[in-house]
């Protein structure tokens, strides 16, 4: 049944505060941030200007880069039971005092430029244009661990199996700590550049280049599937996950999350001042995002229960709107059964401000003349999704 103007007005008033709202972290405004880490009460952010430290779950950051002489960005962060580590354009730096000061730890690295670092048990792994390197002595010394000369951009682990994404050679995995690597590109098509990779339980997620999106493997990398339900095509640069959620950060379309292991995705972009995401991290209470030009943002996980994102939960897989909030265009995806039906876009007063016919799955509608506010798109008077125009 079509909603009346009164019903839509009531929904507008009731739901205005229900949108999940990102909060910008103080001390990072206007900064390029490329990496994040949470370790207990400490949160770390790294980017073009070095490393930053927070002791209040990313609400406030202070510059904390003493001893780190890297002339370029801090691109990765990890920790073990004793130390905190960064990987930078000038190699690895280690801190024994929770990021207050840093010392260089790059002996054995053939190329100091690095792209990612992780801790797996008693081992550290770092990746970059020189391939993969491993340390078994808390970064005091590094030795080559395969893929020499390959530009490796990201690394993750599933128990004792390593997965890496490369710039031009797709994805590899190793089950013997880097002694041997095998190419695992079945299902990736022509996609060969990967800058983000994440293991969640027994699933691997990989962020592909422009024109692709997020790939998923549920058979340990043997085959890959490109995910699409609620995720726009594009490049993805960051992931974060826990037992309940998987989050994906896109290059230009903001943050998306899934509660069903990637089958369906919802956008959560309200309050984000920059939709280009370089990294994501989870604390026990927040999802944290590192952006290209506006620093760090955080969003309470409890807000996800009320996040409208790209669609109403009752309409999953029926009509999806992205990105959300929108700027000048509305992109929405409809099921095949919706093709041929009329769509209408309502404002908070129940007035139809735009209308047309769904002639394909993915529609792009000019919204440049809409004023800022909350709107609904309805197809065939049954499928409805809510979005914000900023």
Domain CATH for 279: 2.130.10.10
Per-residue pLDDT at 17: 40
The reply to whether omega before 325 is within 30° of 0 (cis) is yes
Residues 251, 276 contacting (CB under 8 angstroms): yes
Q: Report the percentage of the chain scoring pLDDT > 70.
A: 89
Average pLDDT on 41-47 reads 94
Q: Return the CATH number at 340.
A: 2.60.40.3080
Question: Which among 254, 257, 300 is positioned nearest to 278, based on CA atoms?
Answer: 254
Is 250 in the same domain as 322? Answer: no
Q: What's the chain's average pLDDT?
A: 87
Residues 54, 40 contacting (CB under 8 angstroms): no
Work out the number of other CB atoms within 10 angstroms of the CB of residue 192: 17
In whole angstroms, give the CA distance from residue 15 to residue 3: 15
In whole angstroms, give the CA distance from residue 369 to residue 37: 41
Per-residue pLDDT at 372: 87
Is 167 in the same domain as 229? Answer: yes
Per-residue pLDDT at 2: 47
Q: Report the percentage of the chain scoring pLDDT > 90.
A: 66
328-374 pLDDT, tens digit each: 888 877 777 778 888 888 776 667 888 888 888 778 899 888 998 88
Residues 116, 154 contacting (CB under 8 angstroms): yes
pLDDT(144) > 70: yes
Average pLDDT on 138-159 reads 96
Instruction: Give the pLDDT band of residue 252 (cuts 50, 70, 90).
Output: very high
104-126 pLDDT, tens digit each: 999 999 999 999 999 999 999 99
Is 249 in the same domain as 340? Answer: no
Per-residue pLDDT at 310: 36
Q: Which of 253, 279, 305 is the last residue of a domain?
A: 305
Is 128 in the same domain as 213? Answer: yes
270-296 pLDDT, tens digit each: 889 999 999 999 999 999 999 999 999
Is 268 in the same domain as 344? Answer: no
Phi-psi sector, 252: left (phi>0), alpha (psi -120 to 50), beta: left
Q: Which of 279, 305, 331 is the last residue of a domain?
A: 305
Per-residue pLDDT at 386: 76
Instruction: Give the pLDDT band of residue 381 (cuts 50, 70, 90).
Output: low
Element (H, E) at 190: none
192-234 pLDDT, tens digit each: 999 999 999 899 999 999 999 999 999 999 999 999 889 999 9
Is 202 in the same domain as 184? Answer: yes
Identify the DSSP state of 78: E
Instruction: Tell me if residue 315 falls in helix, strand or coil.
Output: helix
Residues 51, 45 contacting (CB under 8 angstroms): yes
In whole angstroms, give the CA distance from residue 128 to residue 49: 19
Residues 295, 260 contacting (CB under 8 angstroms): no
In whole angstroms, give the CA distance from residue 52 to residue 134: 25
Residues 279, 343 contacting (CB under 8 angstroms): no
Is 144 in the same domain as 288? Answer: yes
What's the structural domain count of the chain?
2
pLDDT(247) > 90: yes
CA dihedral 72, 78, 81, 84 (to 10 degrees): 20
Lowest mean pLDDT among 1-15, 89-103, 326-340: 1-15
Which domain range does residue 369 map to?
5-13+312-389
Average pLDDT on 45-58 reads 94
The reply to whether omega before 323 is within 30° of 0 (cis) is yes
Is 157 in the same domain as 214? Answer: yes
Strand partners, 363: 332
In whole angstroms, give the CA distance from residue 286 to residue 259: 16
Q: Which of 249, 276, 305 is the last residue of a domain?
A: 305
Is 269 in the same domain as 379? Answer: no
Is 26 in the same domain as 85? Answer: yes
Is 316 in the same domain as 297? Answer: no
Is 77 in the same domain as 110? Answer: yes
Instruction: Tell me if residue 17 falls in helix, strand or coil.
Output: helix
Which tokens hold the place of 374? 């909350």
> What are the respective helix, strand and coil percentages of the chain, to the nearest 5?
5, 45, 50
- Radius of gyration (C-alpha) of the chain in whole angstroms: 22
């Amino acid at each position: 049944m079509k909603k009346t103007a009164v019903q839509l007005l009531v929904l507008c008033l009731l739901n205005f505060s229900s949108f999940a709202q990102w909060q910008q972290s103080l001390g990072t405004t206007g900064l390029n941030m490329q990496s994040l880490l949470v370790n207990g009460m400490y949160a770390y952010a790294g980017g073009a200007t070095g490393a930053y430290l927070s002791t209040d779950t990313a609400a406030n950051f202070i510059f904390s880069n003493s001893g780190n002489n890297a002339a370029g960005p801090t691109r990765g962060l990890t920790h073990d039971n004793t130390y905190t580590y960064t990987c930078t354009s000038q190699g690895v730096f280690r801190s024994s005092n929770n990021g207050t000061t840093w010392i260089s730890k790059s002996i054995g690295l053939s190329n100091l430029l690095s792209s990612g670092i992780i801790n797996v048990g008693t081992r550290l792994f770092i990746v970059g244009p020189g391939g993969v390197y491993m340390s078994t002595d808390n970064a005091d010394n590094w030795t080559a661990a395969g893929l020499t000369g390959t530009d490796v951009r990201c690394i993750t682990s599933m128990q004792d199996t390593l997965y890496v994404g490369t710039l031009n050679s797709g994805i590899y995995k190793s089950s013997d700590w880097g002694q041997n690597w095998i190419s695992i590109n079945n299902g990736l098509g022509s996609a060969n550049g990967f800058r983000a990779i994440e293991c969640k339980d027994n699933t691997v997620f990989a962020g592909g280049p422009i024109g692709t999106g997020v790939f998923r493997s549920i058979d340990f990398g043997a085959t890959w599937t490109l995910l699409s339900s609620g995720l726009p095509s594009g490049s993805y640069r960051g992931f974060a996950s826990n037992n309940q959620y998987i989050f994906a950060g896109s290059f230009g379309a903001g943050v998306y999350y899934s509660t069903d292991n990637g089958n369906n995705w919802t956008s959560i972009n309200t309050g984000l001042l920059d939709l280009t995401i370089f990294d994501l991290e989870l604390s026990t209470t927040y999802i944290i995002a590192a952006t290209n030009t506006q620093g760090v943002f955080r969003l309470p996980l409890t807000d996800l229960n009320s996040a409208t994102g790209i669609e109403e939960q009752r309409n999953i897989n029926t009509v999806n709107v992205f990105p959300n909030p929108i700027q000048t265009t509305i992109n929405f995806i409809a099921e095949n059964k919706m093709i041929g039906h009329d769509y209408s876009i309502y404002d908070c007063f129940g007035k139809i401000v735009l209308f047309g016919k769904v002639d394909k799955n993915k529609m792009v509608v000019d919204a440049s003349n809409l004023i800022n506010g909350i709107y609904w798109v309805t197809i065939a008077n049954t499928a409805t999704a809510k979005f914000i125009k900023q």
